[in-house]
Structure 1
Amino acid sequence: MSVDKTGIQGTRWTGSVPILIGAAILVACGAPSPDVPAERASQSQEPTAPVIPAPRPIIVFLGDSLTAGFGLAAEDALPEQVASILKTESIEVRVVNAGVSGDTTANGLARFDWSVTAADADLVVVALGANDYLMGIDPERVKQNLSEIIQKAKDNNIECILVDLQPRSTLEEGSRDAAFAAIYPDLAAKFDLKYYSSLMSGVENQPDLLQSDGLHPTAQGVRVMAENLAQFLVPIIETYE
């Protein structure tokens, strides 16, 4: 008795079927067809998009609520506004907002490694001390904390820019305010740092540029601060090009 060697829908199995199946598997796996030269097959693939590196330098702003953008939308915070202003001048940078509301210099020192070093920073803008001042922390302790922050930056080959916050009260020789105010220029000279003398310049004591608490800038106030700081940073950033 003869056997009809047919498969599904009457398709006849022949000796060439395993070869065809094997070829189909190769094509499905991306291998070139046997009758297409390998070089032609590789040329037919879609070109790989070039990898565009992130803008450099990477600038980390290590600060408190004045950096974080207390009471404002994320895009209105100081680091983001600085980047926006620089972009209008065709200067591309990547900013990292490492501002934490309420932070003291001790807090900034404690989180330096994961806030700054881990971000692969080229520059760190240190804007800390306002909360130390308001909390009555000893100026010598503040100076020591800032010294350690600066030294950490140097140890990690990160350029450090020191930002002075200027205490709000008048300065009397020998007073705590005078001691506090001397911290920033003294450290800038000791470590040979780029020194930005007043973060709140043009904003402090301007009610229309401050929120209702009288301490934190509005979005417009931040814009004023960012304009001034951006222009200070331009020649520093240009050294990285």
Structure 2
Amino acid sequence: MAPLAGCGRKPPRAQAVPSGATVLALGDSLTSGVGASTDAAYPAVLQRLSGWKVVNGGISGDTSAQALQRLPDLLQKHQPALVIVGIGGNDFLRRQSTSATRANVRQICEQARAAGAQVLLVAVPEFTVMATLGQLSDHAMYEEIASELKLPLHRKGWAGVLADATLRSDQIHANAAGYERFAQGLVDTLRATGLLAGG
């Protein structure tokens, strides 16, 4: 079943990122891999699954504003072919302004593209009362940004992992199995959008 068939639009078709290319995973503790060892963090798993050189640009506790501040140096240093943007969870946890978070995430995506990288946006769950009961859904902001900027979006990755107690190390972080599951799902999206060659 094509998840976007009913939306009247196809996901943007991307250029395949060649094997051995540098990919930057920008994010917070879910990217850095809190709750598991460094080699179990999702960027390390993605590197194994994709054949890319995946740079772990995750810093625990980072907000979208802090990630935006770090981005120019990361782009200059690594010159990635693709930037995977998964940031915003700490903004939600700290009840920061959604409009400010949206502006930061949008700017991150635009800056990465301006530097010549392709961008994949990763939806982060909205932390609500239902989330504490294990019912997580993506924050609507990510769908809006992906639609506005015509970016591919990885949906329900973290929402699916963090809703399953067996895949978590605590309430807001995955364990090694959770990061593995997330990376596997990410690979499916990367293939579906054409960023990763192969079926």
TM-score interval (norm. to shorter):
0.7 to 0.9
Give a deviation string over 1:183-225, Cα, whole Å, max 9, x none.
Answer: 11111111110111123143222112111x3211110111111
Does residue 37 of structure 2 align to residue 73 of structure 1?
yes
Q: Deviations over 1:82-123 (max 9, x none)?
A: 12223xxxxx21110000000010011000012233211000
Which of the numbers 142, 149, 163 marks the counterpart of 1:205? 163
Letter of the 1:74 counterpart: T
- Extract structure 1 runs of 4+ deviating beyond 6 A: none
Deviation at residue 238 of structure 1 after TM alignment: 2.4
User: Structure 1 regions of 5+ residues with no counterpart?
Assistant: 1-53, 87-91, 172-177
- Counterpart of 1:93? 52
- Normalising to structure 2: TM-score of the pair? 0.80
CA contact (8 A) 1:124 1:161 kept: yes
Counterpart residue number, 1:143: 102
For residues 139 and 201 of structure 1, the distance between their equivalents in structure 2, rounded to whole angstroms, comes to: 18
User: RCO greater where, 1 or 2, for CA within 8 Å and sep 6 or more?
Assistant: 2
Matched residues, number: 173
Of 222, 228, 236, 2:185 maps to: 228
User: Which residue number in structure 2 is paired with residue 183 of structure 1?
Assistant: 141
Structure 1 counterpart of 2:52, which letter?
V
* Letter of the 1:220 counterpart: A
Instruction: Write the deviation string for residues 49-74 of structure 1: whole angstroms up to 9, x where unpaired.
Output: xxxxx953211000000000013211
Does the 8 Å contact 2:75/2:115 carry over to 1? no
- The TM-score, its normalising length taken from structure 1, stands at 0.67
Task: State the one-letter code of the partner of 1:141.
Answer: A
Q: Secondary structure of the equivalent of 2:161?
A: coil
Question: Identity percentage over the alignment?
Answer: 27
2:90 alignment partner, one of 112, 131, 137: 131
Secondary structure in 2 matching 1:227 = helix
CA RMSD of aligned residues (A): 2.1
